[in-house]
Structures are given as C-alpha cells and as structure tokens.
Amino acid sequence: MEDYQVIEPSRIDRLKMTVPSSIYSTYHHLLKKHSRHGAADLTKNYCLNAHFPREEQAIALEFLYMNGFFEEVQELLGRGEIEAPYDWFYRLLVRRKFGRPMSRQEVRRLKNWSQDQAAAETLRLFMLIYHHYDSKHFGSMDNYIDDIYMAMHHINKPLVKYYFQLRFDELMFQYHWKSNMGVVAKKYAYRVINSTLSPEKQSGMYHHLALVEVFDDYSAAMDHLTTSIQIAEENPLTSSLYELKERSLPFIAAFHRKTEGVKTIDPVETAHLAIAEGRMEKAEKILSSLPSLTPFQETYLGVARNDRFLLQKAYQRFKHEYGDHFFARLPFYYLKYID
C-alpha cells in the first residue's frame, strides 16, 4: 500500500465523510511526492503558517500531536487562537507527554464535561483512558471502549478518523495485552504498525511487541526490540532510547538468563541482572535502598531475599492494584526459584 493510501478512509467511512480538510488534502498530496518524513515535515509547516477555520484547528493539533511535533503543538496553543475545548484538551495531552499527569480536579472536570461534537467527545474519552493508564489502573480501560467506538462512528473528517482509529487500535492492544490475551493484542499491534506513518508510534509498538513476547520467545522479543531501537536511533527518538536500552533490553535478557555482555545504568534492572547471575546480595542491597517498591521491584526483591510472601504480594498487586494480568505472570514465574 502506498503511503498516501494509508490515510484514506475506508469504503464504508467514505459514505459519511464530508469535504476533506485542507490539512488532509495537503498531506495526502505531499505523501505522493515525498517520503513519510518529508511529507510530515512539510505538512507541519503548513499547519503552523496557514489560517484555519474553527473546525480545522483541532485537525492541525491532532496532526502535529500524532506525528510527535509537540513543541509545534505548544506554539499553536500559545497563539491563543484555539477554541475550547481543544485548547485545554491538547494542553493536557502535551503536559502528559512531558511526564505531568492530570490532577484529580482536571480528571473530575473531564468526567463531567461531555461534548456534543463527536471528535471532541471521542478525545475526551481517550483522555480519561490515558489517565487510568498513567495511574496503572489498567482494568478500568474497558469502561470506555464501547463509548469511544460509538462516538468515533459519527466522525466525518478523514484525517481525524485516521488518527482516532490509530488511538483506538492502540487502546485495544493495551486492553488485550494487560488482560493477558497476547494473541489478540498482537493483531492490534500489527494493525497499528501497518497503519501508522509515525516513526515514534512504530518504534513504540515494536517495543510493546517485544514485551508481549517476553515470557514465551526470547528471540522474537529481542528481534522486536532491536527493530524498535533501530527506528528510534534513525529518527532520532532520544527520549525513548533510555527505556529501550537501559530497561527493556536488560529486562528481557535477565528474565531469560542471557546476560553475557548486557549492562545497564538503570539500578532496578542492574538488580534484575544480578538476580539472573545469582548475585542475590547485590540485588537485595540495591532494591532494599529504594523508598517504595513497584510490583516489579517487589518481585525482584522477593527473589533476592528468597521471600515467597513478597512474590505473592507482588502478584496480588499486579492483578488487583494495577489490573495487569500479563505482568502478574512475572512473580508467579519466579516462585519456582524460591526454596
């Protein structure tokens, strides 16, 4: 499939689509003549320099955000021309991208602020899901799936529908992954990979695929991770490389006890590598110095201390505190190493 065809609406969606936005027409045309990166960069410049009617403001923001142009999103917002609710929605989204989650008051406002416009309502619901995801309450995600699906059905702008469908497929991947339905999750992962033109999203999805494979297939996990790192280095996605190289790579290596030549500056995964190599005292020293423990860290500490109770506690936290049935398998796996 040609790149310009990726963003085109499906045959069914075409029946309800209105006249495409100028941003869609520009991007679609540029994809016929330029590389993905080149077309995105030129469309970014168009979004920053053109004067849009109200209905296209949100499309410009969504294009910039979904292609990783976060500073440009902030530039548009800073002009004070974006109308409600999109000015507030995208301020929250950019803040989230830079590690600042929503406050309780902001979440409460989102919950009580339903929208008449299909695109705005869909984005509001996505943002509530992102809040639950950031809070590691994965079990709450399914409360919104049906509502998002119904709201998306009424979207009549092709570029908005394209990006929101990507958001929805990412959501469905996360939902099935955290529900420990790996086979279904992988189908959605490949759907995103085959549909997105964004290097950031492609790298991120290959990263997630690596973690999906971690319990079952070391080679597949490492292959996906290598692809993710390669995309991140080529583009470059420097903010992703620490997570990929210093956390996920040693995590997969330590889990499979293939640690030769693997090093990391991340203290928690340094402890995990030490466990894989039988250096329990070193692991226990690192982990016991932490002020509070995640279920991952509790799992590692339980192995280092030969403490079955800690592993069982981590298992319960993964399942009931996080709603993460996939990684709840981790402490269960390590129980067999406890005397």
Share of the chain above pLDDT 90, in %: 78
What is the rounded end-to-end Cα distance, in angstroms, of the chain? Answer: 55
User: In whole angstroms, what is the distance from residue 112 CA to residue 84 CA?
Assistant: 15
Q: Are 338 and 309 in contact (CB under 8 A)?
A: no
Please list, in sequence order, all residues whose beta carbon lies within 8 angstroms of the beta carbon of residue 131, skipping any fewer than 6 positions away: 101, 102, 107, 110
Tokens representing residue 244 in the block:
């990929």
* Predicted confidence (pLDDT) per residue in 268-296, tens digit: 999 999 999 999 999 999 999 999 999 99
1: pLDDT strictly greater than 90: no
* Predicted confidence (pLDDT) per residue in 158-206, tens digit: 999 999 999 999 999 999 999 999 999 999 999 999 999 999 999 999 9
* pTM summary value: 0.93
User: In whole angstroms, what is the distance from residue 76 CA to residue 144 CA?
Assistant: 29
108: pLDDT strictly greater than 90: yes
Q: Mean per-residue pLDDT for 218-228?
A: 98
Beta strands in the chain (DSSP E): none
pLDDT band at 339 (very low <50, low <70, confident <90, very high): low
